Structures are given as C-alpha cells and as structure tokens.
Amino acid sequence: AAALRRLNSAVQYVPYRGALRPRSALRLVRQYDIVADCSDNAPTRYLVSDACVLAGKPLVSGSALRLEGQLVVYNYGGGPCYRCLFPQPPPPDAVTNCADGGVLGAVTGIIGCMQALEVLKIASGMGSSFNRYMLMFDALEGRFRNIKLRPKKADCAACGDNPSVTCLQDYEAFCGSSATDKCRTLRLLPGGDRISVQQYKELLDARVPHVLLDVRPQVEVEICRLQHALHIPLRRLEEKEEESLQLLHKRICEEKQRTDDQTSLPVYVVCKLGNDSQKAVKILQELPAEKFGSVLVKDIKGGLMAWATKIDSTFPQY
C-alpha cells in the first residue's frame, strides 16, 4: 500500500493485515465491486471464487509459474466460476507453487498488468473478453493464445441452478493443503519412513553403510550437493527408467559389500525441501525385492535446506 501511494496518492488504499479466512472473506468481498485474485495456492483460489459467487462480484484471476502465465475472469457476464472449470481440487502432491517451482518476475509483471487492464475495463463498463476465454502466456516462446472455456455449468456446486455451496467452508480441508504462498510441506509417508537431518548426520559420522539418493533436477544439483550422494532425478524414477534403476542397483550392491549382507541396506532419499523425496520413497518401496534385495528406504525430512539450516551453515541455500 505504501508503494502504491507513492505512485498515486489520489487513490484510497486499504491494507488488511492477515490471511484471508472463510469467516471474513465474504464480508470483505461485499465491500468492493471487483476482486483480483493474485494468490498462489488452491485453498485461497476456491475461497475467493466462492466468496465472489455468493457476493455476486466478478473475479479477475491471474497466475504465473516458471515461464508461463494465465488470466481468466470468473463469475462475470454469464461466464463460468472457478468451480465450473475445476470442480475438485488436484491432489496436494501434484500442485506446484512459485515457492517450490520458481517463477520469472517479469512473467508475474506481465500477468499483473493484464489483470489491472481487465479490472479497468470492467469498472469502466467496457467489459472483458476473458470471461469466456483463458489467456495463456508462454514467455519462452513469446506467445499469447486464447483457449475457449467451457460454459457455466448448470450443476456447478457454487454457481449452478441448485448450488450446494451456500456458505464458505474449510478450504484447507477441502484441498488437503495449506492456504499459504510459502513452501508447502507434504506428509505422504508415516513417521517411521522418515528421519531428521540430525539423525542422518549421526549415522554419517558413524560411517553406517547406506546409499544417499538425491532426486532433485540437474539444475539444482549444479547449485549445490552433498558429494557422496547418488543423483537420479525424480522424473526418471517415476518413468522407471532402466538405466537409472541399474545405476541405483549398482550403488546398492557396492555399499552392501561393506556389510554382512544379513541386514537391510538403508537408502536415504533427499531433495530440496523433503517433498519430492517422499514421492521417490513411495516409488522405491514398490520396486521388486528380488531385483534390489533387502533395502530399507527412508526420506530425510526438510531436505537439503534443513541440512543447511540445522547442520551446515556454509551449505548454499536457494
């Protein structure tokens, strides 16, 4: 708000300190003519959309991730609402936000300017073209394209003929994820399948035979890595790439030579934040025992950023 006042002191700016919650969203939305959604998580998007439908307000929604951006105007001119297009939220582990996936700042600037333009057009009575089309921006190719949206659904839970969403609900429970723009923390594994960075440091100092598997993308490994880690990107594990699985099997066999072959060899999986590593553990747990032998797979909670924070302050954070 302070930055905006420096740009234009003739406009009234009202900052609200705190997260948008179901108990307050409808009261806030009803005070305004147009709402712009610039959030970065599924619970907030559903909350804002439902509040706009209940209050009868148009919603100018923008999103950006990596080198791509999208713009849609919901609940306007007979067009669909957010739930019309996305009746059910995606699985929490399938969602990537900017904190996890990254975004080029210029992309958010472009989408933000487009949002502002649509707000001005709606406010001035000119209307918007993006209540029936989604604008998609590809920064890498320098290309804009419009995709026609499905029409408003008669059976939509929010804006349909007989809506079931008549009040705002617990959207974090509905989406299975937190309403935050910060780095998400997934819980895909039971506690017994995870260890802390402190526990891993102890077994490392004790020279316990094991394999450390780093499942980050190559570009992140080039930034920083633990030198003794074997690097296989999560994508290759998901695709069951034979060459990668053979590489893992070879490392396991080499490490098993240091043991009496009577106990399960631990394989610890690490990534940046401890999310992708949990996905990798679930994949590795399903690999055939006759091929990989007796292997105990666990995830390292918090990943390499937890290592940098709690174990090695010189380890680069990114």
Taking Cα atoms as reference points, which of 30, 178, 37 lies closest to residue 100? 178
C-alpha angle 298-301-307 in degrees, rounded to nearest 5: 115
Residue 226 structure tokens: 């633990």
Handedness of CA 148, 153, 158, 159 (dihedral sign): positive
Respond yes or no: is residue 98 known to be catalytic: yes
* Annotated catalytic residue 253: no
DSSP 198-259: HHHHHHHHTT---EEEE-S-HHHHTT---TTPEE--HHHHHTT-HHHHHHHHHHHHHHHTTS
- Is residue 211 within 8 A of residue 252, CB to CB? The reply is yes
Catalytic site residue from 81, 84, 98, 224:
98
Distance CA 44, CA 41 (A): 6
The C-alpha atoms of residue 191 and residue 172 are separated, in whole angstroms, by 22
- Catalytic residue (one of 52, 156, 159, 271): 271
Non-local (6+) Cβ contacts of 288 within 8 A are: none
Centroid of chain to Cα 301 = 18
* Residues recognised as catalytic: 98, 271
